[in-house]
A and B are shown apart, each in its own frame.
Chain A
Amino acid sequence: MDASVSGGTEFDLQAWMAVQLDRVEQALSA
C-alpha cells in the first residue's frame, strides 16, 4: 500500500487515486 503521512494523518494515495481515476475513466469513456 502506498500510504504517506501528511498533516498528521495517514493518507492512502492508492485509495484516493482509485476513486479519482474511476471518475476520470467514466467521464472520458462517456
Chain B
Amino acid sequence: MRYAVLDGGKRLRPLLVLAAAEAVGQGATAALRSRIDGAALRAACAVELIHAYSLVHDDMPCMDNDVLRRGKPTVHVQFGEARALLAGDALQALAFELLTPENGAVSPAVQAALCRLLARAAGHEGMAGGQAIDLASVGLALTEDQLRHMHRLKTGALLRGSVLMGAACDERVPADAVQVARALSDYGSAIGLAFQVVDDILDVTADAETLGKTAGKDAAADKPTYVSLMGLERSNAYAQALLADALAALDATGLPAAQTRALRALAGMVVHRDK
C-alpha cells in the first residue's frame, strides 16, 4: 500500500481539496478554521488514496496492462497480481476510514458530505464507470461527445469531487452556498476535462522519461483520445478554452479573487504542465 501511495505523484487532487477549502474557509473563527483545515487534510489524503487504488487496479493485466508507473514497476509487477488487487481494495477502504474519525474532529454532517462526494466521484457514475466505458471503447470510433462523457467520469469526476470535498469541509452554509457549489462544480468539470486533454497531448508529445510512464500507450492500444479525434492543434486550443471556462467559473463563485488564487493558479498548472 505504501509503495502505491508514497511514490512522488503530482498530488493534484489533494491540492485541489486544500485550495477549495482555503477558498471557502475565509472569515471563519480560529477554532472553525482549525476544524476546516483538519477536515480538508483528511479529505485530501482520502482522495489521493482513492486515486492510488485506481492506478493500482488500472495498471493490472486485466485492465490497461501497464508495467511502468511514475518511473517504477507497477504494483502488480513488483508484488504480484493478487497482492496488487488487495492493496487497491484496502486503499479504498482506508480512504473512507480516514473521513470518519471517531474523535469528533470532523462533524457528522461534514463526514457524511465528504463520504457521499467521494463515493459518487469514485463509483459507477464516476471514475469506475468511466474506466468501464474506456475498456469497452478500445478499437471503437467514439464521437467527441462520447469521448467527453467517458473522461468526465473516468478522470473528471474525482478532480471535480476533490474541489467539492474541499468546499464541503466548511460546516457553515452561507446564503449563496448553492451558487458557490455550482460554480466550483463547473470549475472542477472544466479542469477535469482539461487534465485529460493535456494528458492525451503529452502522450504523443512527451517521452517516457519525462512522463514517468509508458508514452504512446493510448495510440498503441488503439484507444480513442482527444488527439486522435481532434488533432494536436485543436486539442491544444480546446485545453486553453477549458482553462478559460475554469477561470470564468471561479469568477462566478462570487468569492473574492484573493480567496480563489490557489484554485486559479492550479488550473493554469493543469493546462501548462509538461508531465
Contacts and interface: CB of A to CB of B under 8 A. Distances in A.
B149 interface: no
Interface size class of B (residues with CB under 8 A): 20 to 34
Contacts of A4: 261, 264-265, 268
Interface in B128-157: none
B11 interface: yes
Contacts, number: 63
Interface of A: 2, 4, 6-9, 11, 13, 16-17, 20-21, 23-25, 27-29
B257 A28 contact: no
B267 to A, nearest CB: 10
Contacts of B14: 20-21, 24
Given A17-B15, A21-B11, A21-B15, A6 B6 contact: no
29 contacts: A2-B265, A2-B269, A4-B261, A4-B264, A4-B265, A4-B268, A6-B257, A6-B260, A6-B261, A7-B261, A9-B261, A11-B262, A11-B264, A11-B265, A13-B262, A20-B14, A20-B15, A20-B18, A20-B19, A23-B18, A23-B41, A24-B15, A24-B45, A25-B6, A25-B11, A27-B42, A28-B6, A28-B48, A29-B6
Q: Is the interface of B mostly helix, strand, loop or mixed?
A: helix
Interface of B: 5-6, 11, 14-15, 18-19, 41-42, 44-45, 48-49, 256-262, 264-266, 268-269
B162 to A, nearest CB: 12
Nearest to B37: A23
Contacts of B41: 23-24, 27
Contacts of B260: 6-7
Contacts of B44: 24, 27
Question: Chain A: interface secondary structure?
Answer: helix
Nearest to B5: A28
A21 to B, nearest CB: 6
Given A21-B11, A24-B14, A8 B268 contact: no
Of A4, A11, A16, A28, most buried by chain B (CB within 10 Å of CB) is: A28
Nearest to B250: A6
Contact of A13 (B48, B49, B257, B266): B266
A25 to B, nearest CB: 8
